[in-house]
Amino acid sequence: MNAAREELRSLVDEKCLTVGHSYTLTTGRRSGFYFDCKKAMLDGRCLGLIAGAFLEEAGKLPRVPEAVGGLTMGADFIVAAVIQRAFETGKPVVSGSIVRKEQKKHGAGNRIENELPEGTPIMVVDDVVTTGSSTEAACDAFIAAGYDVVGIVALVDREAGGREALARKYGCPVRAIFRTRDFPRIDRKTDDAPGAGESTAPGG
């Protein structure tokens, strides 16, 4: 792990991770740890490090994405930070798209904000992957609109099977900046994360 990524890991641990409480997940199961990644995304230093980490992962994909996107609002800050950093540094990932949770009921009635031309290669991003359901919703919407999903990257993988499920369904590389094993404060013996869903609160 390079110095920038280790600094980001330390900041995510400090700002986003809480342990020792019982959190209810959307499936009704409970978890003994919780990532509220919005706290990192709303910190300027953390967001800059997040942008760098996601751009680094974009460069490892077999096909270079021309866009980055995901489901609101887990992906919103990541998308904005990545495309700004890409523009500033001359990288090709300079367009972003955001999938709404439901179709807009007024105006143009968009489901995807800033919908790009058919065939656009996109890297789909999310803050936390547990079962992968929110990431899956974004991928399905992009594919239906004609995008080519060339990779999926999450800030944190809770190692509950979601990353593997996404890889099976979409047949593309699925990566995570961090996994739960990168955070020694998490005691997996007290958690029922395998098969659990995203938290009912922001994050996971």
State residue 5's pLDDT score. Answer: 97
10 vs 141: CA distance, rounded Å: 34
Residue 204: pLDDT band by 50, 70, 90 thresholds?
A: low
Task: Report domain extents, the chain.
Answer: 3-190
Tokens encoding 176: 């995570």
State residue 90's pLDDT score. Answer: 95
Q: What is the dihedral of CA 16, 113, 52, 139, to 10 degrees?
A: 80
Interval 94-103: pLDDT, tens: 999 999 987 6
Report in angstroms the alpha-carbon separations of 36 from 12, 18, 89, 108, 200: 9, 8, 29, 32, 11
Residue 189: pLDDT band by 50, 70, 90 thresholds?
A: low
Single pTM value for the model:
0.89
pLDDT score of 27 more than 80: no
pLDDT score of 192 more than 60: no
The 3-state secondary structure of 91-132 reads CCCCEEEEECCCCCCCCCCCCEECCCCCCCEEEEEEEEECCC
Residue with the bigger pLDDT between 68 and 194: it is 68
Q: Mean pLDDT across the stretch 17-33?
A: 78
The CATH number that domain 3-190 falls under is 3.40.50.2020
Is residue 41 reached through a cis peptide bond, with omega within 30 degrees of 0 on the bond before it? no
Report in angstroms the alpha-carbon separations of 110 from 19, 79, 106, 142, 166: 38, 18, 8, 12, 25
When the pLDDT of each residue in the chain is averaged and rounded to a whole number, the result is 89
Q: Mean pLDDT across the stretch 170-191?
A: 88
- Which of these, 49, 52, 51, 15, lies nearest to 35 by C-alpha position? 15
Interval 131-173: pLDDT, tens: 999 999 999 999 999 999 999 999 999 999 999 999 999 999 9
